[in-house]
A and B are shown apart, each in its own frame.
Chain A
Amino acid sequence: MIVDIVRTHPVVLVGGVLQENPFYVPPDEFLVELRSREAGSRASRSETAGEPEGDVARLSDMLRDLLALGTLSALEAAREPAAVVERFAQAVLSLPFVELVFMKVESSPNWSGVEVLRAREVLRPSPSADDLQRAWLQASKLGEEVPRQLVREFAGLGELSLFIVPLGSQARYGWVAAGARAPASLDSFQRSVLEVGAQQLSATLRERQLAHLRAAETALRESEERFRLAFENAAVGMALLTPEGRFVRVNPALCRILGRQEKELLGTDWPSVTHPEDVPRVHEAVRQLTSGEKDSVILVKRGTHPDGTVVWVQNSLSMTCDADGRPRHLVVLIEDITDQKRAEEALRLSEARFSKLFRNSPAALALGTLHDGRIIDANDRWLELFGYERHEVIGRNSSELQLWADARERAGVIERLIRDGVVRDHETRFRKKSGEIREALLTFVRTELPGEREPINLSMILDDTDRRRAEVERARLDSITDSALAHLSLDDLLRELLARLRSALKAELATLRLVDENTREFVLRAVDGVPLERIAGIRIPLESSFPTPLDSPFLVNDLPRPEPGREDWYARVWSLLDLPLRATVGVPLLVEGKQIGVLALAATRTPFTKEDQRLLQVVADRVAPAIERGRLVETVGESHRRLAALSQRLVDVQETERREIARELHDEVGQLLTGLLFKIEGHTSAPETSRMK
Chain B
Amino acid sequence: MALGRARHVCALFRDRDEWYEILVPFIQEGLQLRDRAFHIIDGRRRAEHLDRLRQAGIDAEDAERRGQLEVTGWLEVRGWDEAYLRGGRFDQHAMLAFLEAALKRGKAKGFRLTRLIAEMEWALSGLPGVGDLLEYEARLNYILPQYDDAVT
Task: Report A's interface with B, CB cutoff 8 A.
Answer: 1, 4-6, 8-14, 16, 18-21, 25-27, 30-31, 34, 53, 56-57, 59-61, 63
Contacts and interface: CB of A to CB of B under 8 A. Distances in A.
A53 B18 contact: no
Interface string B94-125: 00000000000000000000000000110110
A21 B121 CA distance: 21
A12 B1 CA distance: 11
B127 to A, nearest CB: 13
Contact of A12 (B9, B21, B120, B124): B9
A10 B6 CA distance: 6
Q: Across the A-B interface, give the 10 residue pairs with the lowest CB-CB distance, nearest first.
A: A9-B10, A10-B6, A8-B137, A13-B11, A27-B138, A60-B12, A27-B141, A30-B138, A11-B9, A57-B14
B15 A34 contact: no
A20 B1 contact: yes
A12 B142 contact: no
A55 to B, nearest CB: 9
A21 B10 contact: yes
A5 B14 CA distance: 17
A5 B11 CA distance: 11
B138 A31 contact: yes
27 contacts: A5-B10, A5-B123, A5-B134, A6-B10, A6-B12, A8-B134, A8-B140, A9-B10, A9-B137, A10-B6, A11-B9, A12-B10, A13-B9, A13-B152, A16-B18, A18-B1, A25-B138, A26-B141, A27-B142, A30-B138, A34-B134, A34-B138, A56-B12, A56-B15, A56-B121, A57-B15, A59-B12
A34 B8 CA distance: 20
B12 A27 contact: no
Contacts of A18: 1-3, 9
B76 to A, nearest CB: 22
Interface residues of B, number: 30
B110 to A, nearest CB: 27
Contacts of B18: 16
B134 A27 contact: no
Contacts of A56: 12-15, 121
Nearest to A35: B135
A5 B13 CA distance: 15
B134 A1 contact: yes
B13 A11 contact: no
A11 B8 contact: yes
A27 B3 CA distance: 20
A27 B135 CA distance: 8
B6 A11 contact: yes
Given A16-B21, A31-B135, A60-B14, A53 B6 contact: no
A47 to B, nearest CB: 15
B86 interface: no
Contacts of B123: 5
Contacts of A20: 1, 6
Contact of B120 (A5, A10, A11, A21): A5
Contacts of A6: 10, 12
A12 B134 contact: no
Contacts of A14: 11-12
Nearest to B15: A57
Given A9-B8, A13-B11, A16-B22, 7 more contacts: A8-B8, A8-B134, A8-B141, A12-B12, A14-B11, A27-B138, A60-B14
A40 to B, nearest CB: 15
Nearest to B25: A16
A30 B134 contact: yes
B109 to A, nearest CB: 26
A18 B152 CA distance: 11
B23 to A, nearest CB: 9
A189 to B, nearest CB: 13
Contacts of A4: 134
Nearest to B11: A13
A11 B121 CA distance: 19
A645 to B, nearest CB: 159
A16 B134 CA distance: 24
B7 interface: yes
B138 A11 contact: no
B77 interface: no
A31 B137 CA distance: 10
Contacts of A57: 14-15
